[in-house]
Structure 1
Amino acid sequence: MQGGGVCFVLLILCVCISARIRDPYSILGIHRKADTQEIKKSYKKLAKEWHPDKNPSPDASSKFIEINQAYELLMDPERRRIFDTTGQTDDQPNFRKTYDYSSYGRFDPFDNIFSNFGGNFHFNFKHGDGTNIYMKQSITFKSYQNSIVHLSKKQPYLILFYAVWCVACAHIEPIWKRLNEELEPINFGMATVHAEREVELAKKIGVKTVPYLVMLLDGHPYHYTEPSVSMVSSVDFIRSKFPNRLVQRVTEGNLESFLGGWLDNKVRVLIFGRLDIIRLRYLTVGWEFRERAVIGYVQMDRADTDTIRARYSVSNKVDTLLVFHEDMHTPVASVAMTDLPYPTMRDIIEGNKFLVLPRLSSQSVFDALCPVESVRSRRRLCVVLVTQDDPSHDPSRAALREYAISDQARERDRVRYTYLFREKQVEFMNALTAASGSPLETNHHIVILWRKDQNHLKYEWLEGGWEVEPDKQNASQESLRAAVQRLLHSNEPMPYETVVQELFDEHAQGIVWRIINKLVSVQDYLRDNVTEDDLLPAVSILVTVLFIVAGGYIMSYLVRLEEERVAKSNFTYVDQTGKMTLQPQLRVHELRGETYNGLVRMLKPGCRTLVMLCDSESKSKLMPKFHTACWPYRKNKTLMFAFLNIERASAMEWYKRILVLGLPEPRDLNINPKNTIGTVISLNGHRKYYCLFHAKHPEGAYGLHPVPGTAEKEGLRRRHPRSGISGDFMGFSDNESESEASDAEVGDKKKDSISSNRPLLNYYSNILFEEQLLEGLSNWMDRLFEGSTVRYHINYWPDWPGK
């Protein structure tokens, strides 16, 4: 009895499958010569009208099924041809055949029949090893979002949506199996999605029918729109979705420009092949390495490629791959085989994907060239040459490139030589120049980096910079070699440490190109899914989106303008404790041995340098006030600003020397460095004199305001310095010395004059807080430019101690 029931069920199933439908043209209301667009237009109109969820008529379900069957027949070129010639309308498996009608609540007569026999009927999709191929490759919405989308940035993915009750899915199973065998070895990801279980994913992708084929590139889904699937049509679909210039055709005419384009920081790869078309494996390898390499294809049987083969001695009997760095005449790697396998091409390019002297153009490049190594004994160094995007800097880069080639055999796994464009990596350079030991002008200087973790790095500037003149180049190279070897083979700490943010991506697309690409994607989607009836709402949505995007762009542009305006008036100052404060934008140098000549000795006539004395502890408090006082003079090209760190023995010795030179006669000075904090010196390098400011020596308190050009002024200039030098504002630490100086040098009358002004200091009991040290600096600077401040003339500028 049970066997008879099974036969009866199978008989019903066969009858239903082989059921004939009436004239599909009359069902859709179109003529026999209607093209594909007319068929789609009529189908979508009728499907909306007779959809069971929208049409309450009892015949809606059967009419809707009939419309779908007619549409599927006419969209299949082979079935349509058979109907036009023979009138046969027997159902045949088709790639666009089955809708999921279960969501419409449609009666399914087979559900109850099969359940009566205690079994679940389904199509069994088998893989070669006996497993279910669709189930084996099935993914979920979570794995799609967390894994597949990210992987598609380097690996193209082909995704098939299927359902259990889908005759067409069973029909294309051999084709999917063959695609899997052909594409997986060339780095294609293959995945399937159970559309009935992963409804959210199907909705996100825009899947309406099963089976449904999607290609995923860089997170963007591309829809297969052909009515039926085959190996030829699917491969054509895959090939058409890769970017047009992903693999460029190279001939004699464009060879030089192709190989010479490495200034974009990418290596060049030439693939020699015999086929007229570019093979899929070349496209997939180009997609994987598109951020680091530019792939070119040379078809060997063309007449305009013979000289290329001869130039690089390439045989026309095998496929060949050549990798080029900066030298277009000699490849750095090559491989020749009858059929280049994907893993071999990937390994060759992976091992040579960076130029000899690559540029730090993005965070991914920085991570690859300068990896993190937290252990000091195993630290990996990154030698970075600071340049600008200017042809005049090419000699410096060429010199370091030649040095890197000669030094590649030594510690190649622990040392990488790179360069950067200062004007493009502004934040990165600001972090490196925040320390007091950074050079005044960083162009043509080398900094050696060691990354302790993702954001913290230690570094050291190469002493003397990177020289390219013949008489200085050898010295620079020896200095660099010695510094690298010292840091590699000793546990010597590096002097500076800073925190850096993510590097600016120089290759990122601008907002305009991102908008254009988005509009192209929207256009493709609308062309495949929107009819004329839906055009008006679609246009309305598109205009709304464009308006929102344009408004957002305008707002972001206005915000950027405001940020730039604020940035021009402010910059972030980081003290040695790591505290960040907002300061006016004023370049303040450190006066030390390397900068002494530029800031003092070599000043042009009429130019002066204002120097503030401080130590590491007081710098963070005094620097903002120093900036504020100097801010009105920021546009004065005759002024330079600096600070002197009195904790340096050489700095304190230099300060003592210029004080002695300013005295009428030589004497020993006992200077307490702490008392000099807050002193500001105006240095006139050309005329060899300086002026002094200190809170305990307000010159205005003496009441000396002579008229410029009078003899009285000259007499006061001779007397005033002697009276001033006897004060503790210059750093004299003992009162006895001060008394002696006052008695011996000032005289009774002058002493009485000074004493009459002493109460000004007595209000504070000779105690000043750091916040008060620069309160009178602005007024003093006004008198400085009026010429009414006291000038201490010296015969010469002393050498910097220790040089």
Structure 2
Amino acid sequence: MRQDTLNALKDLKGVCPTEWNRQRKRLCVILITENNKKKDIERVVLRDIALNVGYSSEKVRFAYIFKESQPDFIKAISKGSFKDSLIQIVIIWRRDKKRIKYDWVYVAKQNGNSSPEHLINSTKGQISNAVKKLLKNSEALCYEAIVENLFNEHSQGILTKWISQFLYVVDYLSDNIEDEHILAVFSLLGTIAFMFTVGYVLIYFVRVEEENLKAHGQLIDIQDQRHINFIPELKLYELRAEKYNGMVRLLKPGFRTLLLINDCQSRHKLIPYFHKAVWPYRKSKTLLFGHMVIEKGLPWFSEILRLSLSKNRHLQVNPRNCVGTVLALNGHRKYFCMYHAKHPESALGTKRTLRNTQKLLDANEDPEIGRFLKRDFSEESESEPNILLEDHLLNGLDNWLERLFDGRTQKYYINYWPDFITK
């Protein structure tokens, strides 16, 4: 038989184990006392009773608890306690981890100064009677309570735990590590520290050198250099069967494709002219730029020309005469605008300029102006030449593009976009 102090949850589990069955219930006799020298006599009395009682430790165990250390536990079992009892003793039966049943033992006060032996005998008698009574299967403890975890009186703070763990690790290492192990560890740490130090020094000198070069203007920041040298790229896509949907059929609303028609012989001359003419519009996000070889797309070009005509008839198209044509395709609204050097709409701007110049010459009588503007050009310009060189096919493209984006060009509507069949 032993007497224990309940100062933590693990002590409660060890001293007063749980037992749900009434026939195998285990009782725990607990003394409620204070942590001072005046109450030592109470603990002496309980220790003597625990040593001399005749019950098995599997059935009855003894313990004491301090009021100031476990106020929540004592408050939970305060119901039914005797305030005029000489010693506060409670008998509990733990049914599970939180639920307990308990009953208080009343110890009557003695008249006068009684000896410790008399106190022990009277207390022992009261406890023995109560225990015999409660061990019977027919008897039940009077009160029931739900208790939380006990406060651990020996718990340590976080800082104390860290210090204890550190001291434990130091003792363990000092006992198990030899000198050669310590040298190897310090060598490894020194090597790592040396590598980091050398790397930091090299990075520091590189930064100093970069700042010196920037101060003398010999080095430009990479971001500034990208910003200075950045030129918007103008991509020209070749219209093929695999790109036809993306460039024509599936264009989003508001998007258009500017398409140059050339052949294998003239593409090296016309593409640079076309690239130069559309270069100012390279930043537009609604324009695509491309070119098409007439030998590959002649059936498609002939079909859209036929669909744009009001009469349904078969067209015989000369591929050579199509070279230098520029189409502005609106895939969503199914129409296109056309530029060609011999197209009446394309020559309209040049003729209008010549007529305005002629009026200026007629209204001004200064011979110097007539000599400067060469009066004899109007008659030649009214009659269009029958032959156009490849170098002059795109001369009027700039003016046509201005009229295109101003909405002053002729729109040729079609019912659908024909398939792009490679010849």
Alignment TM-score, normalising by the size of structure 2: 0.42
Q: Quick one: higher RCO (CA 8 Å, sep 6+), 1 or 2?
A: 2
Larger radius of gyration: 2
